[in-house]
Structure 1
Amino acid sequence: MRRTFFYPLRHLAAAAAIGFAAVTGGPAMAQTAPGASEAAAYTGLHAAAQKGDVAKIERLAATRADLNTRDGNGRTPIHVAAFAKQRDAIRALARAGADINLLDKDRYDGVTIASVADDEETLRVLLASGASAKLVTSRYDGTALIAAAHLGHDGVVKQLIAAGAPLDHVNNLHWTAAIESIVLSNGGPRHQESLRALIAAGANLQLSDRQGNTPLQLAKSRGYREMVQMLEQAGAR
């Protein structure tokens, strides 16, 4: 099934407040996995990555095939393997010398792909294979950490923090990971845990959105009592 990543429609009001009219999404703003017909048409390293065929990857690498070859959406075999959760393929490609940090046409890397999918094991393999948690990705000039905080993928958030992801990166919506864990959340347990992890790691809680609202003010305005409490305990204003 084709998987896309958009800022959720339920957050249109929040986005409108900052003038981001394009939040409803479109093909250029999506993180898009290969569709079934696209995957079926793959050949070479893309097909091997999609299927997790390590032996074929090793054979092709031995013939000096282009390990970073791209499909029509700019996906390398690493991207394809990340979408397909083919972890052994990721390991094989990395061992053979593939560039594990390239971005596809929509500016996503393997780390962000796994983070958005809440795929902690694939993320663990990517990071262990040398992938960076520090890249600026997506049309929002964000990071994998911002995307994970937005979605409340708390385990992913913790992995990315441990891997040195920038805690205070500000995307082109003028939001940090801490802000997105609030303004693009439902205030539930996984978003709370994501925010808690960011606080414990030392995220700057005084950085504000374009209107000058801090994470504490944003949590108060949404009635997220648990988030308000943890921010106040951390000394946020």
Structure 2
Amino acid sequence: MSLSVDSSKECAGFKLPEEQSSQCDSGLGGGLEQREPWGQSPGLPCSSGEDRCESACDSAYGSGLLESFSSHCSLGASNKAPVHEATFDPWAYLSEEGDTFLHLCIIHEVEALALAFIAHCTLEYLNWQNDLLQTPLHLAMYTRQANIVRQLVLKGADTELQDRNGNTPLHLACQYSLEECVQALTKPVAAEERALLGCEAFNESGPPNLERHNWQGLTCLHLAVLYRNDAMVEHLLASGARVNTQEATSGRTALHLAVELGEIGLVSRLLRGGSDVDAPMYNGCTPLHLAVGRLDAGIAAALCQAGADLLLPNLEEETPLDLASSSWNVLELCPFDDVRLRGLPVV
């Protein structure tokens, strides 16, 4: 099922096709695909009446499924004698859209139940991708549940899996400015967390890959710049994101993107972070080419102060000075003269 940040709580409106009561024994009969990739059920006991099981199967995306499960299931051993009735097994459940029961708990923001599942399930279950290739970690990002994000990371959930748009959970956090979720995703494991979970329980795979491109060719830093999120840019650079990585479509760096947006604050921050002021795109254009072409005198001046080369040609043999020559304010766009201080032009 498809989720969006603006309407993540509307998922309860989705419906599953009606199932016959005879299909409720396993939770995977009929229209539900017979997939159970995570292996043996960890054995959470769930005893409920036949009518309740049939109702759960008929409205898997309705809140009734989670409410009935929460009120009739326990995570501990039961002293009651086994009841020979049809049972709903949440570990075997898989919707037509490929969502596990954990997916649904996160979608409906039933945090206590989601955390209980996370504590008992295998990595294969944690990393299961639905038909949109969304893992529970993707959905926790969409629904802004930082506590669940952190628990998934500590349990070893794969932070590198990509959804159908090529986005990792960190891409989503950067796109939608989810600072709290980014902290939960990237911060090192604290000593208290290590002691609480035990040496085998937390993720030892290291921080997420900050250089992975989505299917639009963008890294997390590119997305943070495109969405004008200064705090996210700061966090990514401090976490080791490479400031000169090129996006895959036209070879723009984060500095090119900031210049195109006219964001002089981001331009200054990226320059302080070591951005190559003369980095070429695939067509040879530098950030100064873009600033001059957009008649942005403020950014052009900032680039020149950082040492941008006014005479560097692109693939069409045009320099930034050539582009400015056709403008009435050429001196404003290219503020250079013969006086240089420590190799930099005096503006």
TM tier relative to shorter chain: 0.7 to 0.9
Counterparts of 2:334 and 2:320 in 1: how far apart (Å)? 12
Aligned with 2:318 (options 190, 200, 213): 213
Amino acid corresponding to residue 220 of structure 1 in structure 2: S
Deviation at 1:225, TM superposition (A): 4.2
Structure with the bigger percentage of helix: 1
TM-score with structure 2 length normalisation? 0.52
1:107 corresponding residue in structure 2:
217
1:90-147 CA deviation, whole Å, 9 max, x = no partner?
Answer: 2222225222221111210111112122222221122222222121113001211111
CA–CA distance in 2 between the matches of 1:77 and 1:150? Answer: 26
Partner of 2:328: 223
Contact 1:91 1:129 in 2 (8 A): no
Pairwise CA RMSD: 2.6
The residue aligned with 2:157 is: 65
C-alpha displacement of 1:55: 0.9
Aligned to 2:53: none
The equivalent position to 1:153 in structure 2, one of 260, 263, 271, is 263
Secondary structure of 2:171's aligned partner = helix
Instruction: Give the aligned partner of residue 172 of structure 1.
Output: 282
- 8 Å Cα contact 1:219/1:227 also seen in 2: no
1:199 aligns with 2:304: yes
Structure 2 distance, partners of 1:51, 1:224, is: 49
1:68-111 alpha-carbon deviations (Å, 9 max, x no partner): 11110110111100011011222222225222221111210111
Q: Decide whether aligned partners of structure 1 residues 229 and 141 sit closer, same or farther in structure 2, where only a CA change above 3 A counts.
A: closer
**C-alpha deviations, 1:40-68, integer Å up to 9, x for none?**
78551112223332211111012211011
Contact 2:140-2:146 within 8 A present in 1 as well = yes
Q: Distance in 2 between matches of 1:196 and 1:229?
A: 7
C-alpha separation between the residues in 2 aligned to 1:229 and 1:167? 15
In terms of Rg, which structure is larger? Answer: 2
- Contact 2:222 / 2:254 at 8 angstroms: preserved in 1? yes
Q: How many angstroms apart in 2 are the aligned matches of 1:120 and 1:162?
A: 13
Does residue 77 (structure 1) correspond to residue 169 (structure 2)? The answer is yes
The change in CA–CA distance for 1:126 and 1:47 in structure 2 (over 3 A counts) is same
| 1:28 counterpart residue number | none
Identity of aligned residues (%): 25
Aligned residues: 198
Query: How much has 1:165 moved relative to structure 2?
Result: 1.3
For residues 193 and 48 of structure 1, do their structure 2 counterparts lie closer, same or farther at Cα, with a shift above 3 Å needed? farther
Aligned residue identity for 1:153: E
Contact 2:5 2:142 in 1 (8 A): no
Q: Where does residue 48 of structure 1 map in the other structure?
A: 140
Residue 132 of structure 1 corresponds to which residue in structure 2? 242
Q: Which moved more, 1:143-152 or 1:35-44?
A: 35-44
Higher relative contact order (CA 8 A, sep 6+): 1
Amino acid at match of 2:170: I
CA contact (8 A) 1:51 1:86 kept: no
Moved more, 124-133 or 58-67: 124-133
Following the alignment from structure 1 to structure 2, what is the Cα–Cα distance between the partners of residues 78 and 215? 36
Gaps in structure 1 of 5+ consecutive residues: 1-33
1:94–1:100 contact (8 Å) kept in structure 2: no
Unaligned runs of 5+ in 2: 12-131, 189-206
Distance 1:146 1:152 in 2: 10
Alignment of 1:175-194 (within 5 A): 175-183=285-293, 185=294, 187=295, 191-194=296-299
Shift in Å, 1:182 = 1.6
The offset of 1:163, in angstroms, is 1.0
Residues 297 and 333, structure 2, Cα contact 8 Å, conserved in 1: no
Quick one: distance in 2 between partners of 1:112 and 1:194?
19
Query: Is the alpha carbon distance of 1:37 and 1:139 closer, same or farther for their aligned partners in structure 2, counting shifts above 3 Å?
Result: farther
For 2:8 and 2:319, how far apart are their aligned partners in 1?
A: 44
Q: Quote the Cα distance in structure 2 between the aligned partners of 1:129 and 1:174.
A: 29
